[in-house]
Amino acid sequence: MASGKSVIGRKLAHELGFSFIDLDEEFERKYRITISSFFQKYGEPEFRILEHKILLETKNIDNHVISTGGGTPCFHDNMTFIKENGVSIYLKVSTPTLIHRLVNSRKSRPVLKMSSPDEIELRIATLL
């Protein structure tokens, strides 16, 4: 979350001459709802199930850079799928940088909804 996956992914795809897929954008397009609204309405467990299904749909797609959501590798054995079907790149960003980006982000982060900077710091530390 907030590591720059979409920005770096787009740049990498361009450099490689590949197409780019952002799984979060794909989710919102496919289900016609923002991820934040989906979280509020149906909760994270249901989101993770549908996110997993979208990830599986990328299995036979070649010459693409795919940006996953920050939590994608942590659920439903997605990391194994990613490793078996492509190359995984982890963008390591320091905790203070992540906290700064998240506190100042205009993008809604459902897993951090209504969190104070201290709560964000604790959540990031737990997730990492």
Which three-class secondary structure string do you get for 24-87? HHHHHHHHCCCHHHHHHHHCHHHHHHHHHHHHHCCCCCCCEEEECCCCHHHCCCHHHHHHHHCC
Confidence of residue 114 (pLDDT cuts 50, 70, 90): low
What percent of the chain clears pLDDT 70, i.e. is strictly above it? 99
Decide which of 37 and 128 is more confident: 37
Q: What is the mean pLDDT of residues 92-114?
A: 81
pLDDT tens digits, one per residue of 11-60: 999 999 999 999 999 999 999 999 999 999 999 999 999 999 999 999 99
Mean pLDDT of the chain: 91
Domain 5-91 is of which CATH architecture?
Answer: 3-Layer(aba) Sandwich (3.40)
**Boundaries of every domain in the chain:** 5-91
